[in-house]
Amino acid sequence: MSQALYRKYRPKKLDDLLGQEQVVGVLKNAASSNKLSHAYLFYGPRGTGKTTAARILAKIACCFTRRDNEKFRAKGEPCNDCQACNEIDAGRGIDVIEIDAASNTGVDEIRNLKEGIRLSPSSYPYKVFILDEAHMLSKSAFNALLKTLEEPPAHAIIILATTEFDKVPATITSRTQRFHFKKLALDLMVGKLESIVKSEKLKVSADALEFIAALAEGSFRDAESLLDQVTALSSDVDLPLVEKTIGKVGFNRTSELADYILKTDLKAALNYILKINEGGYNVVDLTKELVHYFRRVLTLKFNPDLETEFKKELTSKELEQIKFHVKIADSTKLIALIKSLIRSYSEMRYSPFATIPLEVAIIENLR
């Protein structure tokens, strides 16, 4: 069985983490000066490298080369060559315990952790506990974890990872070093996908890669999984194939419909929706993409400085199209349209007549 791309190309050192320069800088400095903390909290959107960073930090703490070679320790990275590094990479690190808090939410699991943490590591310099999806722990489990986080044994490191920071009690967060993982910029994701395509000797068009990166919404794991999915279908992947496979419309199709709407061409807009629906594309997602598209047009119209932020999630060609629509858009009409589209989106998600709310919203605003 072939290995999934997101596993095959998982970063093995801190410098390989995409778009998390601030996190990487602090962790490397701590590692090089041998000042690793006893408790960390990694939080941020899915697929941004939280669990990967936790595993790399576990390797850094347990790396035999770092332990024995002071000059190498100054690099602040694992060697990825010693027994400990290889075992942790393979998921066989006996003193690195990963707990999925989503399926182990109760106080009993945390009590087991408390008992296990007292025992000295059997093979490595440290015993590392990684609690993934930590926000899923019950209130009693969090309470059981408090004392352990406050006064853990000298040989133990606890790393919590979560996508929902606000659900982690303040009593927990205050006992950890907190690191925020940001969504990845589009250009970073496209560049990494291009290197994977080249390494795997795949044939994927530039437009298709940009669409895959945009669909992932800042999650590189999602982008790799989507790339895996579409390349399994064909040896020559282009944008239409990705759109049909995923069932979502890309930026170009959304922009074309937006153009008809902003130019008040009702007939063309309705024909286009019919064409999209008959083509098997997801009209609900089209509506969602339209809302995002018009939101960018509206906010850029009132605040041109946002162009800098939009460059992180759009290609230069896409940004130019947005800026063209900024010039022709009527802000008052656009606000009313966005409100109608949001209402339509909420209606059509649970309706057997998915296209009707969208069509009605457009007719109401263009007639």
pLDDT bracket for residue 79 (50, 70, 90):
very high
Task: Give yes or no for a contact between 43 and 88, defined as CB atoms under 8 angstroms apart.
Answer: no
pLDDT, position 279: 81
- The answer on 232 and 148 residing in a single domain is no
CATH number at residue 331: 1.20.272.10
Q: How many domains does the chain have?
A: 3
Mean pLDDT of the region 168-176: 91
- The answer on 86 and 66 residing in a single domain is yes
pLDDT bracket for residue 106 (50, 70, 90):
low
pTM of the model: 0.81
- The answer on 273 and 226 residing in a single domain is no
CATH number at residue 241: 1.10.8.60
- The answer on 152 and 195 residing in a single domain is no
- The answer on 290 and 167 residing in a single domain is no
pLDDT at 105 over 70: no
Mean pLDDT of the region 211-239: 87
Least confident range from 62-71, 168-177, 189-198, 346-355: namely: 346-355
pLDDT at 16 over 70: yes
Which of 262, 288, 260 has the alpha carbon at shortest distance from 274?
260
- The answer on 236 and 317 residing in a single domain is no
CATH number at residue 41: 3.40.50.300
- The answer on 168 and 46 residing in a single domain is yes
pLDDT, position 315: 80
pLDDT at 104 over 80: no
Average pLDDT value for the chain? 89
pLDDT, position 2: 64
- The answer on 143 and 93 residing in a single domain is yes
pLDDT tens, residue by residue, 114-157? 788 888 888 899 999 999 988 888 888 888 888 888 888 889 99
pLDDT, position 32: 92
pLDDT tens, residue by residue, 300-345? 999 999 998 888 888 888 899 999 999 999 999 999 999 999 999 9
Considering 149, 180, 211, which residue would you say is the last residue of a domain?
180
Question: Alpha-carbon torsion 183, 188, 194, 197, what sign?
Answer: negative
Cα dist from 54 to 14, 75, 96, 203, 245, whole Å: 10, 18, 10, 33, 33
Task: Give yes or no for a contact between 154 and 126, defined as CB atoms under 8 angstroms apart.
Answer: no
Mean pLDDT of the region 278-292: 88
Q: Which domain holds residue 275?
A: 251-366
- The answer on 176 and 48 residing in a single domain is yes
- The answer on 86 and 217 residing in a single domain is no
- The answer on 277 and 352 residing in a single domain is yes
pLDDT at 45 over 70: yes
Q: Hey, which bits of 58-176 come out as E strands?
A: 96-100, 127-132, 156-162
- The answer on 236 and 139 residing in a single domain is no
